[in-house]
Structure 1
Amino acid sequence: MKMKSHILFKTTIAVAVANAIAMSSAYAQVKAEKKIEVIEVSATKRVTNIQDVPLAVTAISGSDLVDMQINDVMSLEKAIPGVTITSFGNNPQIILRGAGSAGTTDIAVPIYHNGMYLPTTGQALAGYLDIERIEALRGPQGTLFGRNTFGGLINVITKKPDTEEFSFGGAATLGDFGLIKTEGFVNVPVSENVAFRITAADEKRDGFVENINNPNGDIKDSDYTYVRGQLLFTLSDDLSINLTASHWKDTGNGSLNFGYKPAGIPLDKDDPTRINAADGFLDPRFGVYEGCADGSPDRPGGRTVSGGNVCAGDAFATIVPGARTIDYDYTPNRELEETSFYVSIDWEIAEHSVMVNGAMFDYQSINLMDADLSGLASWVDGNYSTSKSKQLDVTVSSLFDGPLQYTVGAYYFNSQDPANRSAYIFGSLVESWSGYAGATPETPSWASWNSEGRGGTKSTALYGQATYALTDKLNITAGIRFTEDDREAQSADPLSFDDSAARLGPTLPIRSYGTREVQKGVDENTDYRLGADYKVGENLMVYATYATAYIAGSTDVTTQTLLAPQTNKAFEIGAKSTLLDGALRLNAAAYSGKFEGLTTTAFIDQGDTGISVATQVPGGSILSRGLEIEGFWDVTDALVVDFGVSIDMSEYDEFIVDAGNLVWNGTAPIGSETISGSFVYVVDGEDTPYTPDMTVGVGMSYFIDLGDMGTIKPHVFAYYNSGYISNRAPVFFADQDAYTKLDISVKWESVDGDYSVQGYVNNATDELIKTYTEIFSRARVAYDYNSPRNFGVRFAYNF
């Protein structure tokens, strides 16, 4: 398989280069009057034309976000070549160039907000509102950005106050599933040097997944509010200070903690008394692997985790039809809330730019859901967490003319707040044989083995990056970053199994600390970047770069030090060209990297409860290789085409995936191996999860001039995905087949551009896509799926 990947990679590069040369030659004969708008980005911490940045960067303007119906992080993948986003409860995960697919102890592809690192992925669920642009930097960015830029980063940049003129705008969106969304802004110049801007939104929508048992328990809904206030002080032409405060809260039912849709038990086709996750079939029931009392040979499973009996024909032991239909009794208890403060100081002095950016975040979440995924009142599980953090980033960049340009800086991050706690929660709603005396649906009995921990990271870094012009065409770049990470963690004291009264709800149990030692560890690391870029002509630049990035390891309980970090060493070569007299922007990048020191997730079974708790164990390495092409073409004055292509051949290099949840009665699942007494899958050479071999996105817009009546712009976006596996283990039921999604919109805009009406249909082909596959204890399989087809109309004024 590795040989095949190498051949495919070399062939792909050869074809891409040949095509690029052919296209260049052809386009040189074509003339076009219209030129593409220059896009400036801050990817190198200095504002630069995107075509002059020797990195793979995608920039999406705020207006494009609106036109493409990209409302939050979950819909970003269609605009960024190579990006896949998977849903995992309240924690979306971005996979880019293989990073984030498996084995990191922290976020592998983080979200930044105005240059500030968001320490939890749940914070990225805040909607995109009043956005200037989004910058996606692909590949490791370890020398200039704060934390964990393992495979790249997404930087969301909001619009700032304007001291020039008073302005306001708003929009209302109505759609199916009962969607009602309102949003708007007001910009007020207080004086010629002071202005403030207030932005707010409110959204309510019914669930995409219907609960036929409990109408209040529909999931994947929305109940969301957001407000952001900014105050800008322009003290002089060279000095400005921007202060920002924001608050958002989401009280919708959201998603489950893992997969929401039970799918069945993987059984062997020839021997249905055995688990076969390699090439078996899914017996469509949410039961457990236990024989029927009558010894029926064709139905090896009998009892569900909730007590329903498959053999006796219990309705609660079966799965209701429909991928977006559930029959849970429990109404989810979910709430996400964040308050944040930012300060940004921009000062030009002595031919240098001094940027000071600071932020404080206070984020908390709770997610309590139906654990047995049935209509029986039995178990609930979930998690809660609090994340308080603060950070400061100071950079000094040269502004003078000359062959040498540089940026130096210092970074500080601290999440070691005593209030930062996170926990897995499990509780019974009924009395049972396993020690939940007194439990009722209104007063759950919380499991004695529930886990809670507290801790955080303190990180400091010094960094610098310089570019020197050897000639007017050739530049060389070198960067370095030294980081020290100090991590600490402590587990809460266990709850008493014997004291059942102390474990009764309805509020969550209060945990104490003191008997367990605080785990501490310090690690130091140095990241590098070396690169060169060469201007072949006025409209063509080629570049090559080598870059590293790292994520600090977890704390070792025994040695009280940090385990070896996860590292990425990556090469990238690319070309950026502007053709057709400026009408076509065509960029390409080929990359190769190796992730090492990765961990994998194993699940520890909690006895007879049928519930498992995740733990991190040493894993292995991943090889990342691929090619990305993106372009924007003003074909005519009326027709615009944008496109992105990603070819990704990321694969496990050395990796072991635990198979424990597919084990029953000590019998190894078919296709697994035994190592140190544990059943595992050795997945060396297999494709990494959520990394399709190819994705292609093509958008087309056509402008129809109506004269005094304004313009109409139909827009079609087609996205092809070659398919992927949605679990780390090589199991047949996690395969996601190839698919093509289609988004359609039509927008009318007035002559002055102030008024607009946009109708849209997202996922017009109503594709059903696995975004996550969960294997619960005792071989039970459940899926999470994407959003269904949905449509609406957006009415806007100046927004």
Structure 2
Amino acid sequence: MSGVVSRSVRAALCLSAASAAAISSNAALAQDSAPAPQEQYRLETIIVTATRREEGLQDVPVAVTAVSGDVLAQSNFREVTDLQYLAPNVTFSSTNPVSNGGGYQIRGVGTQTYDSGVEQTVGLVVDGVVIGTSRDPGATGFSDVERVEVLRGPQGTLFGKNSSAGVIQIVTKDPKLQDLSGDLSLSYGEREEQIARGNLNLPIGETAAFRVSGYYQAQDGAIPYLRRDGDIGDRENSGVRAKLLWWATDRLSVLLSGEHQEGFARDAHTIESLGTSALFNSQFASFDVRPGHGVYKSYQDGDWTADTSVDAGSLKLEYQIGDHTLTSISAYREVQTTQLSDIDAAPVNIFNNSDGGVDNSQFTQEVRLTSPTDRRFEYVIGAYYFDTDLSGWASQVGNYYGLFGRPVVLGGGRRDQTGSNQSIAGFGQIGFDFTDTLKLIAGLRYTHDEVEGKMVISPLPYPAVPLGVLLPYDGKVSDENVSGRVGLQYQPNSDLMLYVTYATGYKGPAIDGTGGIAREIEPETVKSYEAGMKSTLLDGRMTLNAALYWSDFEDFQAQTLDLNVSPPAFALSNAGLMRSRGVELESTVRVTPGFDVSAAVTYNDAKFEDYSAACYAGQPVSGVVGQGCYVDPVSGLQVANYEGEELPNAPEWTYLLRGAYTHSIGSEYAFDASVNWSWRSEAQATIADPRARIEDYGILNANLGFGKDNGAWRIGVYARNLLDEHFYAPYASGTLNPGGYYRIMSPDAFRTVGVNVTAKF
């Protein structure tokens, strides 16, 4: 494997060197003889805020991909999870219908846990506000989005503790002064897909403006039940966001925002059983169906549904102090979820469904001072406060679902749980120009965390199932950390930038209650090394960016199937050491005016280097301590050495290719077409178990449109997963499946073709 990495590294270095030489040569020739091309041949400058200040994407010494809101809307992408089809080295994995705010992985690294109280490894930030729980969808519907930025690698210095693998930053559109405008988009597709989005910008005098946006989207399921009528996989989401911008003075701007979202999802598409519960596959026989690849029907008798409600508000103040900018963002978010779970995932109702709910309230406050960018010395300094409270309940006959994790079999009863997480941080980052071409970048962040959790059981008069004991828990964990970044940025000319960085990241401690047993989880830390190149070629018609990275994680918070509890359940634990290393290449070319082609290829090698946990079900016992699956001489439990095993849902190779074409017809009309293809190699669904393997697959999306050249109206046809490529999401484990898994289908695994009409004024 090291040979593959070495060859990839050498290839990338050679490509970088060749590109640098070509850029320098092109720059010299351009100065001597070549005339400047027409502006329409140049790629537009993309502005990002990856360093908490506005900069051109090609000038930022960070591996970042930016996706415009226009691309998202035209492609009819609906969720943040669709970014995995547009941004390199990004994947999404979740079998829980309420966890669309979590499950993201960057460079193969992410938090795969069913515990809503555990922080994410990939930070989700919406309009400068950190989303603190996986149950918060953040920005479902992609309504009125300006752009989405995907920052790869640790971003803890400027974005905080829950970004040790990277950050997904969503920027929605702000009100515009003295501009009366609006747009409406309606889509209808297969399986009764309905999408409506609308935005309205209203000026209020000369110093204020109001903007409101809303969306509604729904689609029926694609997987038929075998045991009853109907399909599963249906979803319905809606939301509204309002913003009021007021320039109180020529130095002070006030931005007040509020939003409400509601969502419903029906998941848990059990297709086939693996392991000890494979006996359920026999249930297919009565329907003349043989389980396995190519069969996309569900035999479960119940539902796994979730209802989510989000209310949020924020106040952003920006004040110009001389040539500096003082920014304050105060935000409050409240998320409520209720869930009904067919936790046995069986074809018969052996255990009644579990019902429960979680309420999460979050308050954040950030203040930062930003210096101007046209100085030799620039800086950003700030302070951050985060406070979240969780409360949850669950009641069930024969089984249980709790706030902190997946179902656990108990006698009937009710469980009440509460939790809190408080964090205080101070941070700063500087940039210093040694020369006109060489720049130093350095930053630090201090964080103090305090996490509390309580679990209480109130038994009800139902017969108990003697499969485990859950004791009340009342505990607290705390920690502090200093993380940072240091690097050099070299820019010999305006078309080439090289950088090297060393960064550390941090993910705070946690209390995990998966499987009904409270576990205190140690903080996760990372040390990351990265070298990158950003270049502009062909007189502005092409960009070529590359990055080499190596990240070492310590006490990585990993999830495994714990067979040493009764009943066995997925649980969070600390892996000793884990590393992620690889190569990323991205390029965009303007072939002709109106025709752009983008491509990306990534190689990622993410593996455990020191990790001992419970053996997977059916794993042969080696009899040798420290090798494979063995009996620990101290605890007497079966333990496996997972050194060298892949991280779940971390494909080695990913490819992305996108082409977008626009052609004017006469002086008033235009035709547009775009194609997007993404492919990923096979990956492990759970740690080590060869039965839980996700095969490689590729997804093709396409769009065609015709309308007014000025965008006043457009009629289009869209297709998501045009080739109808079926694939499995990572597998799940149910109450009656303690030694195996259930194959789960993603809603994206089925083709959707539809029509779209858009009007603007």
Q: Quick check: TM above 0.5?
A: yes
Query: How many angstroms does 1:346 deviate by?
Result: 1.4
Residues 1:760 and 1:333: Cα distance change in structure 2 (over 3 Å) = closer
**8 A contact 1:198–1:228 mirrored in 2:** yes
Please identify, of 614-623 and 200-209, the stretch whose mean Cα deviation from structure 2 is larger.
614-623
- Given that residues 460 and 483 in structure 1 are in contact (C-alpha distance below 8 angstroms), is that contact kept between their aligned partners in structure 2? yes
Among residues 78, 87, 104, which one is paired with 1:94 in the alignment? 104
Residue 767 of structure 1 corresponds to which residue in structure 2?
725
Answering whether residue 200 of structure 2 is matched by residue 186 of structure 1, we say: yes
Aligned counterpart for 1:586 among listed residues 544, 559, 562: 544
**C-alpha separation between the residues in 2 aligned to 1:209 and 1:578?**
47
Q: Are 1:490 and 2:454 counterparts?
A: yes
- Displacement after TM superposition at 1:50 (Å): 1.2
- Deviation track 1:401-448 (CA, whole Å, cap 9, x = no partner) reads 431101100000001x3xx2246665459xxxx9xxxxxxxxxx9844
Correspondence 1:769-784 to 2 at 5 A: 769-776=727-734, 777-784=737-744
**SS across alignment from 1:481:** strand
Residue of structure 2 aligned with 1:158, choices 168, 172, 179? 172
- How many Å separate the matches in 2 of 1:18 and 1:127? 42
Report if aligned partners of 2:23, 2:535 keep a CA contact under 8 Å in 1: no
**1:590-669 aligned within 5 A:** 590-603=548-561, 612-659=568-615, 661-662=617-618
* 1:471 partner letter: T
CA contact (8 A) 2:564 2:637 kept: no
1:35 to 12, 35, 42: 42
- Higher mean displacement: 587-596 or 313-322: 313-322
What is the distance in 1 between the residues matched to 2:615 and 2:395? 23
Task: Check 1:755–1:328 CA distance in 2 against 1; reply closer, same or farther (3 A cut).
Answer: same
From 671, 685, 689, give the equivalent of 1:731. 689
State the Cα distance separating 1:526 from its structure 2 match: 0.4
**Structure 2: unaligned runs, 5 residues or longer:** 401-408
SS at match of 1:63: helix
How far apart are residue 594 of structure 1 and its match? 0.3
Q: Does 1:261 align with 2:274?
A: no
In structure 2, the residue matched to 1:524 is 480
- 2:19 aligned residue: 20
Match of 2:239?
226
Q: Which residue, out of 280, 283, 286, partners 1:286?
A: 280
8 Å CA contact 2:720, 2:752 repeated in 1:
yes
TM-aligned CA distance change 1:338 to 1:318, over 3 Å: same
Aligned partners of 1:35, 1:358: CA distance in 2, in Å? 39
8 Å contact kept, 1:140–1:549:
yes
Answering whether residue 454 of structure 2 is matched by residue 455 of structure 1, we say no
Instruction: Determine if contact 1:320/1:326 at 8 Å carries over to the other structure.
Output: no
1:785 has 2:755 as partner: no
Deviation (angstroms), 1:450: 6.6
Closer, same or farther: CA 229–473 of 1 in aligned 2, 3 Å? same
Of 588-597 and 3-12, more deviation after overlay is shown by: 3-12
What is the rounded CA distance, in whole Å, between the counterparts of 2:549 and 2:754 in structure 1?
A: 39
Q: What residue identity is the alignment partner of 2:754? A: G
Name the structure 1 match of 2:302.
330
Partner residue in 2 for 1:295: none
Letter matched to residue 348 of structure 1 = Q
Partner of 1:129: 143
CA distance 1:616–1:660, shift in 2 (3 Å): same
Q: Which residue of 1 aligns with 2:659?
A: 700
| CA deviation after TM superposition for structure 1 residue 461, in Å | 0.5
- Give SS of 1:325's match: coil
Aligned to 1:712: 671
Aligned partner letter, 1:7: S
Q: How large is the Cα RMSD of the aligned pairs? A: 3.4
Cα distance in 1 for residues equivalent to 2:559 and 2:79 = 28
TM-score (norm 2): 0.87
1:673 and 2:630 equivalent? yes
Kindly provide the CA deviation profile for residues 103-143 of structure 1, in whole angstroms up to 9, marking residues without a partner as x. 89520002111011111123226221000111111111111
2:177 aligned counterpart, secondary structure? coil
SS in 2 for 1:703: strand
Q: CA contact under 8 A between 2:714 and 2:758: conserved in structure 1?
A: yes
Partner of 2:366: 393
Letter matched to residue 673 of structure 1: Y
Amino acid in structure 2 at the alignment position of 1:192: E
The 8 Å contact of residues 95 and 732 in structure 2, kept in 1 or not, is answered as no
SS at 2:136 equivalent: helix
The Cα of 1:383 is off from its aligned counterpart by 5.3
- Identify the residue that residue 169 of structure 1 maps to in structure 2: 183
State the partner residue of 1:552.
508
Please, which moves more after superposition, 386-395 or 617-626? 617-626
Distance in 2, Cα, partners of 1:523 & 1:556 = 16
Q: Deviations over 1:566-592 (max 9, x none)?
A: 101101111111111111121111111
CA-to-partner distance for each residue in 1:663-682, whole Å, 9 max, x for gaps? 899999x9633334333432
Match of 2:59 in 1: 52
CA contact (8 A) 1:214 1:328 kept: no
1:751 corresponds in structure 2 to 709
Query: 2:16–2:546: 8 Å Cα contact kept in structure 1?
Result: no
Deviation at 1:78, TM superposition (A): 1.6
Residue 262 of structure 1: how far off its partner (Å): 4.2
Match of 1:280 in 2: none
- Amino acid in structure 1 at the alignment position of 2:756: R
Structure 1 pair 576–556 and aligned structure 2 pair: CA distance change class (3 A): closer
User: 1:508-529 CA deviation, whole Å, 9 max, x = no partner?
Assistant: xxxxx9x956312221100111
Q: How many residues are treated as equivalent by the alignment?
A: 721
User: Does the alignment pair 1:245 with 2:203?
Assistant: no
Q: When the two structures are superposed, what TM-score results if normalisation uses the length of structure 1?
A: 0.83
Identity value in percent = 25
2:628–2:641 Cα contact (<8 Å) kept: no
Deviations 1:641-663 (A, max 9, x none): 01111111121111234236548
Q: CA 1:660/1:633 → structure 2, altered by over 3 Å: closer, same or farther?
A: closer
* Contact map agreement 1:58 1:135 (CA 8 A) in 2: yes
**What letter matches 1:193 in structure 2?**
T
8 Å CA contact 1:476, 1:531 repeated in 2: yes
Q: Which moved more, 1:397-406 or 1:77-86?
A: 397-406
Gaps of 5+ in 1: 267-274, 276-282, 288-303, 435-444, 504-512
Distance in 2 of aligned mates of 1:180 and 1:549: 41
Residue type of the partner of 1:286?
A: F
Match of 1:574 among 532, 540, 548: 532
Partner of 1:421: 391
CA contact (8 A) 1:423 1:452 kept: yes
Q: Which residue of structure 2 aligns with residue 541 of structure 1? A: 497
Tell me if the contact between 1:286 and 1:319 (Cα under 8 Å) persists in the aligned partners. Answer: no
Post-superposition offset of 1:352:
0.7
Amino acid of the residue matched to residue 57 of structure 1?
Answer: V
Partner of 2:249: 236
- Which of these residues, 202, 206, 213, is aligned with residue 216 of structure 2? 202
Deviations 1:180-220 (A, max 9, x none): 2211011111221222111111122111222243335x322
**Following the alignment from structure 1 to structure 2, what is the Cα–Cα distance between the partners of residues 425 and 666?**
41
Deviation at 1:146, TM superposition (A): 3.0
How far did residue 377 of structure 1 move? 2.8
**Distance in 1, Cα, partners of 2:486 & 2:621:** 54
- Is the deviation greater in 541-550 or in 138-147? 138-147
How many Å separate the matches in 2 of 1:395 and 1:140?
Answer: 20
Q: Structure 1 residue 596: deviation in Å? A: 0.6
Residues 180 and 667 (structure 1 numbering): CA distance in 2 closer, same or farther, change over 3 Å? farther
The answer as to whether partners of 1:171 and 1:797 remain within 8 angstroms in 2 is yes
Evaluate the alpha carbon distance shift between residue 333 and residue 473 of structure 1 in structure 2; reply closer, same or farther with a 3 A threshold. Answer: closer
